[in-house]
Structure 1
């Protein structure tokens, strides 16, 4: 059967949580040196272009192996997501809007010719079981988390020119690690000093019609060299006007006072495909729009009513003008890693500009982290409570070893 859409033939096996095969840690398990911050388990689900999704397996975290000419190694055919698991004061653990991440992973996978169809509920059940196993590792302090990295990659040979661009074999796996971002950004420690950005003109992260709006591995490794010592991250620019796009790997908001007195929260539009459609970005916009419209007050006090959300390009010269005429009232970045973090300084064309601090940023940050840890109910069911799972023996029937493909 010929496949032309990268989704697999009709009738191919879907992801089924009920077929999970679980291998517990051996009694002799010892954490390898240097791996103390990593989760103990991992989830793997192989995929084949003819048969579809294979049996999901949860077992001890281990290395993966691939053919030297695998697509992931030759052409960076891989995409991923960033998610976090939080522990509440009551001791249960939560995921934040996981279906948003699953949908974005599908979108990225489709762009690469990787499998992009599965039932989110089935995948969430598997995620929940993995998280339940790692519950003892999840910290319960503000700023702490168990970071989750779902990764999808081509394991089949991807060398040379093929008949079509779609993978023959792929692997979806999920590994975890403790406290991504803790100690690196003020948002992780409750400080308000702000981070320092370098407005980068030497390197370009993304461009219209490219892959900037997809969470592909190639978007990140190739731009890390742009980060200069002494700066938290690069502020990416594009176009002759020096429009800003993202800062490092996070979305950006500019707080400006409009001529009519309204406070505008301006962020880059998604229309040109340059910036990633962030889950935290979308959540902040929804909360602010509900507040501005009177539909529902912002969960924490401190946000004025005369606000509006603006999605458009904004340039560095406009930011500088806002500093000069005092209409620029603050700037912050947001994303899974940093949550919400204030921008304190920007270096642009050899000059450093100080961005004013704004208490609204802390209110937004505290709201999002409060939702993460079950302290705030936003009324939208964004916080998913992970059910308990204490497996007895093994689910499913298969060989005991977790394999890479």
Structure 2
């Protein structure tokens, strides 16, 4: 699928907040601005606009409403001690959004550099509200959805009209941040057998809106998230919306960081997951030292299925050395316990989980240089423009 008009940051229209702008009650933690970019099959990408956060309207038969034709990304903007704004590996999120969009028949042909320029301008406008404390951030939710009528079986799978927009909010996942700080801080998971999040050949590896609608209904009181299971062996996959790892002592003396592979399409290829794999693998293979001190040399990453029976057995024989989840929202969180088949299983804490969290957050905030250029510094954007509702074109 191709479009006539490319996505161009140079055509941005910016509308400053009017002097009369008032934050609506209940939305005090949301960003003030949003970015919108329309698309259609005839002319391609339309004009990007940054203006005050506002409601969206759709036709009652729009594909997003009738068939959940929507995908999204989770990204964060961090403020450093010097006041700089940082994004963590944004092109990874843009590539994953393209992959999800293609799965739904939505446009997926933009230039990442053009989109990043628009993102940078949006977050630069929100610089005054981006927090700078440890564990805090401005969360960005780029969302792509079908706005054209999607009722019934269409001639082909592709949308006629779509909208890409970015809204922001503060501190998603901050409440779970202390879970890696030490003994007894870990979150509790309920190993869920009543609901199935994803299956081989399905859409579990894509970040589709429909994949996350069952998360809350399945979660049981007293548990932070559901631990999703699949197959007759009760293999673990994700917990809530995050990738899951176990730390095991191998017979050859290596410490293994084990997580489910991507080959069967059940789990999301997380950006945090990929980053942890690269950091540990390069360290274990002697290619590049782990950014912070404390990671053993004899470590390796293993990607394979993990049945619940293995977790229970490794707890009994002492080879289980910890368990954690990772993702944009939570960064890295310790799993302290699992409920499975009516029994509670306590997972030992491991200081390496906090080391991972501190390393990733240090990179994200520009405090730790991992030598790979993962932290993108957002350029300042000081807009001198008239106040009011009239749109003003910004030459970039």
- TM norm structure 1: 0.94
Is the 2:176–2:333 Cα contact (8 Å) retained in structure 1?
Answer: no
- What is the CA–CA distance in structure 2 between the aligned matches of 1:120 and 1:171, rounded to whole Å? 17
Query: Structure 1 190/135 Cα, relative in aligned 2: closer, same or farther at 3 Å?
Result: farther
Partners of 2:385 and 2:392 within 8 A in 1: no
Quick one: distance in 2 between partners of 1:392 and 1:20? 15
User: Is the aligned partner of 1:60 residue 2:52?
Assistant: yes
Partner residue of 1:183?
175
**Structure 1 segments unaligned to the other structure (5+ residues):** 1-6
Query: Paired residue for 2:391?
Result: 400
Deviations 1:119-171 (A, max 9, x none): 00000000000000000010000000000000000000000111011100000
Among 305, 315, 339, the alignment partner of 2:331 is: 339
Contact 2:13 2:392 in 1 (8 A): no
Mapping 1:217-256, distance limit 5 Å: 217-256=209-248
* Aligned residue number for residue 8 of structure 1: 2
1:399 positional shift: 7.2
In the other structure, the counterpart of 1:120 is 112
Q: Which runs of 5+ in 2 are unaligned?
A: none
Give 2:363's aligned residue. 371
1:95 is aligned, of 78, 87, 93, to 87
Deviation string 1:268-327 (CA, Å, 9 cap, x unpaired) is 000000000000000000000110011111011111011111000010000000001100
Q: Which residue of 1 aligns with 2:259?
A: 267
- For 1:368 and 1:222, the matched residues in 2 are separated by 29
Q: Residue 298 of structure 2 corresponds to which residue in structure 1?
A: 306
Counterpart CA distance in 2 for 1:33 and 1:145 is 21
Distance 1:356 1:190 in 2: 13
Q: 2:29 corresponds to which residue?
A: 37
Q: 2 CA distance for matches of 1:222 and 1:311?
A: 26
Aligned-residue offset at 1:203: 0.3
**1:130-145 equivalences in 2 (<5 Å):** 130-145=122-137
Contact 2:291/2:368 (CA < 8 Å) preserved in 1?
yes
Alignment partner, residue 383 of structure 2 = 391
> Cα distance, 1:186 vs. partner?
2.7
The answer to whether the Cα contact below 8 Å between 1:151 and 1:173 also exists between their aligned partners in 2 is yes
Equivalent position of 2:194 in the other structure: 202
Matches of 1:216 and 1:399, distance apart in 2: 35
Deviation at residue 185 of structure 1 after TM alignment: 4.6
Contact 2:135 2:177 in 1 (8 A): no
Q: Displacement, 1:184?
A: 3.9
Alpha-carbon distance between aligned partners in 2 of 1:326 and 1:106, rounded to the nearest angstrom: 43
1:29 CA drift (Å): 0.7
Q: Give the corresponding residue for 1:289.
A: 281
Query: Does residue 74 of the first structure (1) align with residue 66 of the second (2)?
Result: yes
Q: Paired residue for 2:13, among 8, 14, 21?
A: 21
2:175 aligns to what SS in structure 1?
A: coil
- How far did residue 45 of structure 1 move? 0.2
Paired residue for 1:211? Answer: 203
**Equivalent residue in structure 1 for 2:312, among 304, 317, 320:** 320
* 1:222 Cα deviation from its structure 2 partner: 2.7
Query: What is the distance in 2 between the residues matched to 1:374 and 1:331?
Result: 27
The answer to whether the 8 A contact 2:141-2:166 is kept is yes
> In 2, Cα distance between the equivalents of 1:385 and 1:156?
36
How far apart are residue 401 of structure 1 and its match? 9.8
Structure 2 counterpart of 1:257: 249
What is the rounded CA distance, in whole Å, between the counterparts of 2:2 and 2:288 in structure 1? 43
Q: Distance in 2 between matches of 1:56 and 1:94?
A: 22
SS in 1 for 2:167: strand
Q: CA deviation at 1:182?
A: 1.6
Between the aligned partners of 1:185 and 1:166, the Cα distance in structure 2 is 40
CA positional deviation for 1:174? 0.2
Q: 1:87, CA displacement in angstroms? A: 0.3
Aligned length: 390
1:96 & 1:393 partners in 2: Cα distance? Answer: 30
Asked if the contact 1:186–1:195 (Cα under 8 Å) also holds between the matched residues in 2, the reply is no
Q: Is the 8 A contact 1:39 1:61 kept in 2?
A: yes
| Contact 2:14 2:392 (8 Å CA) reproduced | no
Q: Report the CA distance between 1:85 and its aligned residue.
A: 0.3
> What secondary structure does 2:191 align onto?
strand
User: Residues 130 and 73 of structure 1: is their aligned pair in 2 closer, same or farther, counting only changes over 3 Å?
Assistant: same
Q: What is the CA deviation profile of residues 82-134 of structure 1, one whole-angstrom value per residue up to 9, with x for unaligned ones?
A: 00000000011100000000000000000000001100000000000000000
